[in-house]
Amino acid sequence: MPPWLLVVGLGNLPHPNTRHSIGHVIVDVLAAWFSIHRSINRSVGGFKGRSDILLFSDNIVSLTLFKPKLLMNIASPSVMSTLHNTIKLPASMVIVHDSLDHKVKVLSVKLEGSANRHNGVWSVIDALGANADFYRFRIGIGWDRAVNPANYVLPDMPLDGLLHWNSVGLDRVCHELGRIVSRNQTI
């Protein structure tokens, strides 16, 4: 039986293709790349799909992709339902979200730690409690500090950013997913 991996993209459905919804964008790109059909799953409150895929690490992985319908700051009940209905182990879950603290097009991978002022991540940490040992894929969206953060994250993302996460950025995401699977198999 292949190892399981759950990738959750945080975002806001009313604001697709914005910097704030980069988690949704990346889950959509992964679904297209691996031909994973997702459909609305009312029991968990979002769009969910699963397939066995081959990652760069030559590992076959049972990959579940999830995009919550709820706004990211209150998505933790949907994320928890999906976690408990699929992999059960937080260490096999990846939360993909925007990061104002990282430069544009940068992927920063972290296991455990704080939410770094990200309310969507904070809600997941709060829901998990002491078991908050999940991976975070912090996607750099940059930030012009002269601009109010809400005014920066809600407009549509520049086209070059979308193109990046459909090509070179996607390769990096897949590489990091493979590394997580390899680490989890040695534990």
Here the tokens at position 44 are 């968990």
Q: Please, where are the H alpha helices in the chain?
A: 22-33, 76-85, 119-128, 149-153, 159-165, 168-186
Catalytic residue among 15, 20, 24, 175: 20
Q: Which SS3 state, helix, strand or coil, does residue 109 take? A: strand
Residue pair 67/9 in contact by the 8 Å Cβ criterion:
yes
Length of the chain in residues, anyone? 187
Here the tokens at position 75 are 């998505």
Q: Which SS3 state, helix, strand or coil, does residue 154 take? A: coil
Does 20 qualify as catalytic in the annotation? Answer: yes
Which residues are known catalytic residues? 20
